[in-house]
Amino acid sequence: MGSSNGHCSISLAVLFVFVVTGDANLGSCGCFKRIFSFGDSIIDTGNFAYTIRNRSPSPPSVLPYGETYFHHPTGRGGPRIKTDWGNSSIRKLTKAYKPHNMLYTNALSDPYYLSAQALGLPLLPPSLPEEKTGQFPTGANFAVFGAMALNPNYFKSRYNLSVPFPWSLHDQLATFNKVLTRIAPGDAATKRLLSESLVVFGEIGGNDYNFWFFDSELSKDRNTPLQYMPDIIDRIGAGVQKVINLGAKTILVPGNFPIGCVPVYLSTHKSNTSADYDQFGCLAWFNAFSRRHNQLLKQEIGRLKSRNPSVKIIYADYYGAFMEFVKNPNRNGIDSPLVACCGGNGPYGTGLPCDWNAKVCRDPSRFANWDQVHMTEKAYSVIANGVLNGPYADIPLLHAC
């Protein structure tokens, strides 16, 4: 579906057709032959589920994750994981997973599942299951739940802290480079393959803040995350430059969400001081923190654009897209933008992990948040539209051809 000026134009209504029917050919505009993505649980398509496949079941492997679209948990697009364990095992495991460590959603989880279909490509496969053998003809996803922008050694050496998960952006890029060496050996072949691909760089960096702010003792100090924020931005920028050096010509770099509007933050940092909240009921300081991250990220992207004038580096405004639900919930069919669909009886739908025992809302399409951290398919679909067609990307993705 191309226009005379070479751009692609897909309405939200048509985009939903792609999502519901799974007919990728309807949306093909010939922009990109493949998508490669990096990031954390926001975009993980099953890498984490693969890493724990021989252990006890994890939240992404059990209902209610995936209930709306796939009708079974899938590790978000990855291979279906066997889920015939006893309830006691599930309860034991999910009790160990705090709400902020959950991943997945009720259905399609990230805007790029939607954009992949809108661009005429199938859902991205996770990289780990076929890391050594797969040819990935339409791309692959290297993201993994819990991943951070900074290496765990950074926090160990500077703050003597052990972060919850071992995966970092550095690891994903190293694996990506190994895969490229195998499927497109030689500089010329690598550059040709990447010039025909879209590279999605996150969202990444959120977990570098989450582990700090979710800790009751660490979170008393809010200055330290501000101090290491520039290092997160530098790491993201260095990663973008690395894939550019390899031959990438179109790169999408999302910013961070307004964490002050996320149920787990609202619950963990609940305040009795009205001045701590903005006019929409979000925590003002944490939203200002997210805006600061995004401001620095946009400055870094500006520098990268100046350094690489032949490369399209697109900033995706996740913050602005998310605030659409908060500012205008009724316009988007959302009843309670600050309440999680899956969780407990707390004021923000918090208090319990999202598992078989959790309280789940009757209609997830009326909610923006799924499991107290991640969003619902409805929210992701609206964000996808804003990134694909604007206004929540400085170059709408479907105009990037």
Decide if 85 is inside a domain. Answer: yes
Residue 1, in any domain of the structure: no
153-186 pLDDT, tens per residue?
999 999 999 998 899 999 999 999 999 999 999 9
Calculate what percentage of the chain has a pLDDT beyond 90.
Answer: 58
Q: What pLDDT shows up at residue 118?
A: 67
Mean pLDDT of the 135-158 span: 95
Instruction: Please identify which residue in the block is written with the tokens 């694996």.
Output: 175
Predicted confidence band at 256 (pLDDT cuts at 50, 70, 90)?
Answer: very high
% of the chain surpassing 70 pLDDT: 76
Asked whether residue 4 is assigned to any structural domain, the reply reads no
Distances (CA, A) of 217 to 151, 214, 224: 22, 9, 13
More confident residue, 291 or 71: 291
Looking at residue 54, what is its pLDDT? 63
Q: How far is CA 394 from CA 90, 219, 256, in A?
A: 43, 33, 15
Mean pLDDT, all residues of the chain: 80
Indicate the pLDDT class of residue 116, thresholds 50, 70 and 90.
low
Summarised one tens digit per residue, pLDDT across range 274-291 is: 999 999 999 999 999 999
Q: Structure tokens of 401?
A: 């051809």
Active site (catalytic) residues: 41, 371, 374
The answer to whether residues 160 and 225 touch, using CB atoms and an 8 Å cutoff, is no
Task: Confirm whether pTM is higher than 0.85.
Answer: no
In a domain, 98, yes or no: yes
Q: What per-residue confidence (pLDDT) applies to 55?
A: 56
Pick the most confident of 49-58, 92-101, 202-211, 354-363: 202-211
pLDDT of residue 9: 41
What is the span of the domain harbouring residue 176? Answer: 12-399
pLDDT at position 283 is 98
Distance separating alpha carbons of residues 177 and 127, to the nearest angstrom = 12
User: Is the pLDDT confidence value at 110 over 80?
Assistant: no
Please count the structural domains in the chain: 1
Q: Which has the minimum average pLDDT: 111-120, 230-239, 267-276?
A: 111-120
Give me the mean pLDDT over the 246-255 stretch: 97
The answer to whether position 5 is within a domain reads no
Could you tell me which residues come within 8 angstroms of residue 297 by beta carbon, excluding any fewer than 6 positions away? 233, 236, 253, 255, 256, 315
Model confidence at 194: pLDDT above 80: yes
Domain membership of residue 3 (yes or no) is no
Mean pLDDT of 299-304: 98
Query: pLDDT band for position 399 (50/70/90)?
Result: confident
Say what the pLDDT of residue 19 is.
33
- The CA distances from residue 294 to 51, 300, 314, in Å, are 31, 10, 13
Q: Is residue 151 part of a domain?
A: yes
Residue 6 forms part of a structural domain = no
Q: How far apart are CA 273 and CA 392, in angstroms?
A: 32
pLDDT band at 30 (very low <50, low <70, confident <90, very high): low
Banded pLDDT at 222 (limits 50, 70, 90): very high
What is the rounded distance in angstroms from the CA atom of residue 77 to the CA atom of residue 339? 25
* pLDDT surpasses 80 at 3: no
CATH code (residue 85)? 3.40.50.1110
Q: In this predicted structure, what is the pLDDT of residue 117?
A: 61
